[in-house]
Amino acid sequence: MVVTKEENVKQTDWEPKIIGFLCKWCSYSAADLAGISRMDYPPNAIFIKVPCSGRVDPTFVLKAFADGADAVFIAGCHLGDCHYIEGNYKAMRRYELLKATLKQMGLDERRFRLEWISSSEAKHLKVFVTEFTEQLKELGPIELPTLAPLAKEEI
Ligand code: FES
């Protein structure tokens, strides 16, 4: 009997696992504010505090996916507000490159996001996490692409 992806999701009560890398100056402070303000949002995201969005090495993202995350996001200060002047510009460039690479590897690009959230934007964080979680529930569990073995003539 073949079990469809939708049936499998229903049977296991699957919930998306999201890893978020949040800049400590803005986005992580927004998460703190959301907590202090007792804002309610889905508990699917695990937040990892980083000094700046520009500190997020592409290997952090790849490791998160390899370790079972269904989605990953990076959140940082708005452009022009980075405490290290241009860390978020660096993050933006890396994000575009990595997103294109992940897409080429067969990963749905909707599973990797970049968001600017300032320390006062707790509501923005709440809405973002809520919508991202809903979108992932529609996408279903991640299916990591398997690399096809190289044909003899490609070696
Ligand atoms: S310090 Fe927040 S993005 Fe650089």
> How many angstroms separate the CA atoms of 84 and 55, rounded?
10
- For the cut 80, the answer to whether the pLDDT of residue 4 exceeds it is no
Read off the pLDDT of residues 55-67 as tens digits, 9 standing for 90 and up.
999 999 999 999 9
22 lines ligand 1 (CB under 6 A): no
- For the cut 80, the answer to whether the pLDDT of residue 154 exceeds it is no
Q: How far are the Cα atoms of 13, 110, 125, 130 from residue 7, in angstroms, in the given order?
A: 10, 22, 31, 23
- Ligand 1 centroid to residue 23 C-alpha, Å: 5
124 lines ligand 1 (CB under 6 A): no
Read off the pLDDT of residues 21-51 as tens digits, 9 standing for 90 and up.
999 999 999 999 999 999 999 999 999 999 9
**Domains assigned to the chain:** 15-154 (3.40.50)
> How many angstroms separate the CA atoms of 128 and 123, rounded?
8
> How many angstroms separate the CA atoms of 51 and 83, rounded?
9
- Ligand 1 centroid to residue 55 C-alpha, Å: 9
Cβ neighbours for 77, distance < 8 A, ≥ 6 positions apart: 23, 25, 26, 27, 52, 53, 83, 88, 116, 118
Please report the atom of ligand 1 found closest to the CA of residue 23: 2
Residue type, 39: M
Percent helix, percent strand, percent coil in the chain, to nearest 5: 45, 15, 40
- Ligand 1 centroid to residue 11 C-alpha, Å: 41
Instruction: State the pTM of this model.
Output: 0.87
**In this structure, how many other beta carbons lie within 10 angstroms of the beta carbon of residue 51?**
14
47, 77, 78, 119, best to mutate for ligand 1 pocket (most atoms within 8 Å of CB): 77
